[in-house]
Amino acid sequence: GFSWKLADHPKLPKGKLVAMIVLDGWGEASPDKYNCIHVAETPTMDSLKNGAPEKWRLVRAHGTAVGLPTEDDMGNSEVGHNALGAGRIFAQGAKLVDLALASGKIFEDEGFNYIKESFANNTLHLIGLMSDGGVHSRLDQLQLLLRGASERGAKKIRVHVLTDGRDVLDGSSIGFAESLEAELSDLRSKGIDAQVASGGGRMYVTMDRYENDWEVVKRGWDAQAVKKLREAPGANDQYLPPFVIADESGKPVGPIVDGDAVVTFNFRADRMTMLAQALEYEKFDKFDRVRVPKIRYAGMLQYDGELKLPNHYLVSPPLIERTSGEYLVHNGVRTFACSETVKFGHVTFFWNGNRSGYFNSELEEYVEIPSDSGITFNEQPKMKALEIGEKTRDAILSGKFDQVRVNIPNGDMVGHTGDVEATVVACKAADEAVKMILDAVEQVGGIYVVTADHGNAEDMVKRNKKGEPILKDGKVQILTSHTLQPVPIAIGGPGLTAGARFRKDVPSGGLANVAATVMNLHGFVAPDDYETTLIEVVD
Ligand code: 3PG
Ligand code: CO
């Protein structure tokens, strides 16, 4: 039968401290002035790269290597940390929704049948990110959902849109709004009362995560009650203020009322669970909801399997079980995980297969350092890197842990602002945090693994196929999003067995190969169904 017990590694010892460091948004790209990692002073990461060639390599962090539909899909933190922690590649939300829409199964399952009850007499509301970024949602999926629902009886549909500019170019929301409007007008020509009802910029309205700032969610909620249509000033897509569409008499065209159906059409969880709580929970104390309509609510996916949030959903999320974290804890590995709020769930929830909480609270400690809230991260590009470094250093020196696992967010969070200068400062701060952790690893005779979840800061400009910046009105277009680039991985430290090195026979290795590698460094052989290890030990 099944057993959690891992076999002993024939050549690698147990009991060494392993520091697993994930730099968020830190890809590898050619030197260039828009490569902030290259421009920044990053002596620690440089020394890993320029050290022993058998201890540094690149791994794939995008597309099918992390369970996304195509090789054109850039990596992201959810799929990256899922792969890092689970050691296997799972078809991710983006792909599962594609398949369910293509087969039509989405319209036959429980979730859709549940919301369908409202179609005859009430409105169907669709809330989510209007984007083709493919990180949280996709516009083509929304279009198929709109069509499918209207063909199955939805007569009145209201769409509540969050503009992106973070996974896609700033300003692209106008084009997406036009495509959506074309779709809605097509539905109207078929006699369906379909229109956009409210919205706002994703980072200012609704899509907060890990309870960093409930005000963000509240703004989206309030957009439902406020009876005014606000003209959005020249703000950027991510931070567009909330708006409500009203009719000639000033009445909002699409408030959510008793009996309505609501679908949040994002497939990714982290930035939807807060809204899902506000929509679903009877008891809720994060802000005053004022009016709590009795609705039929379904998520595109279930966003939290443990909390069963939401209860109803259109597509089943990937079932990610037997993650490396769970195995290691069962094999006595005492684990410390740390990041600041905005990435905390990445090294815990995502790492553990979209599961919240500890596997064994006696052996694990997860530390969250509060992020700054109410600012954009280019204002404070150092973020909490120093604090993460310090806490992790202390955890290493305490001798209480066999693994410390951290996410250092700077390259990603500042990279998303599109502020090149600030991103350079961010990269330097991330490098300093790595140094602090590596110094502690050195002191205790431990081992380090340094990698990243996907690219971002290494390329801040949109390029053509030849790799040259694309000019628009003589200016480059700043890339706020992630990239398709591979990411570095380095191993080392005084505790690393002599002769341990990267194998040459896994050239297309990706993030999912890291879990088996880390298990080896803890002295174990990974389970058979895990993607193969990246390392070997030569005598
Ligand atoms: C976000 O949610 O901030 C971006 O859409 C994706 O960034 P992440 O995958 O690095 O979290
Ligand atoms: Co990101």
**Model ipTM?**
0.98
CA of 439 to the centre of ligand 1 (A): 29
Q: Is 529 annotated as a binding residue?
A: no
Structure tokens at 215: 């005000």
3-state secondary structure (DSSP) of residue 36: helix
* Closest approach atom of ligand 1 to CA 412: 10
CA of 412 to the centre of ligand 1 (A): 8
Cα 364 off chain centre by: 23
3-state secondary structure (DSSP) of residue 323: coil
Per-residue pLDDT 10s for the chain (539 aa) are: 899 999 999 999 999 999 999 999 999 999 999 999 999 999 999 999 999 999 999 999 999 999 999 999 999 999 999 999 999 999 999 999 999 999 999 999 999 999 999 999 999 999 999 999 999 999 999 999 999 999 999 999 999 999 999 999 998 998 999 999 999 999 999 999 999 999 999 999 999 999 999 999 998 888 764 333 334 555 689 998 888 888 889 899 999 999 999 999 999 999 999 999 999 999 999 999 999 999 999 999 999 998 999 999 999 999 999 999 999 999 999 999 999 999 999 999 999 999 999 999 999 999 999 999 989 999 999 999 999 999 999 999 999 999 999 999 999 999 999 999 999 999 999 999 999 999 999 999 999 999 999 999 999 999 999 999 999 999 999 999 999 999 999 999 999 999 999 999 999 999 999 999 999 999 999 999 999 999 999 99
CA of 456 to the centre of ligand 2 (A): 7
Q: For a pocket test of ligand 1, which of 84, 138, 206, 412 has the largest count of ligand atoms closer than 8 A to its C-beta? A: 412
Tell me the helix, strand and coil percentages in the chain, rounded to 5. 30, 20, 50
Q: Residue type for 485, please? A: Q
| Ligand 1, pocket residues at CB < 6 Å | 24-25, 76-78, 135-136, 166-167, 271, 412, 416
CB burial class (10 A; 0-12, 13-18, 19+) of residue 257? middle
Closest listed ligand to the CA of 456 = 2
Helices (H), 152-234: 173-189, 214-222
Strand order in the sheet with 335-340: 56-59, 487-492, 447-452, 18-23, 403-408, 335-340, 364-369
Radius of gyration of the chain (CA): 23
* Closest approach atom of ligand 1 to CA 268: 2
Q: Is 62 annotated as a binding residue?
A: no
Q: At what angle do helices 93-103 and 139-151 cross, to 10 degrees?
A: 30
* Closest approach atom of ligand 1 to CA 24: 10
3-state secondary structure (DSSP) of residue 122: coil
Q: Is 454 annotated as a binding residue?
A: yes
Nearest to 266 by CA among 138, 170, 163: 138
Q: What is the pTM of this model?
A: 0.95
* Closest approach atom of ligand 1 to CA 346: 11
Contact 350, 81 (CB under 8 A): yes
Query: How many other C-beta atoms lie within 10 A of the C-beta of residue 533?
Result: 23
Exposure string for 153-185, b = 16+ CB within 10 A, e = fewer: ebbbbbbbbbbbbbbbbbebbeebbeebeebbe
Q: For a pocket test of ligand 1, which of 482, 484, 485 has the largest count of ligand atoms closer than 8 A to its C-beta? A: 482
Closest listed ligand to the CA of 414 = 2
Helices (H), 190-321: 214-222, 273-280
Q: Any idea which residues carry the catalytic annotation? A: 77
Closest listed ligand to the CA of 76 = 1
The dihedral sign for the CA sequence 80, 86, 90, 95: negative
CA distance readout (Å), 400 to 127, 340, 364, 367, 392:
45, 21, 10, 14, 12
Distance CA(445)–CA(187), nearest Å, equals 65
Question: Whose Cα sits closest to atom 6 in ligand 1?
Answer: 76
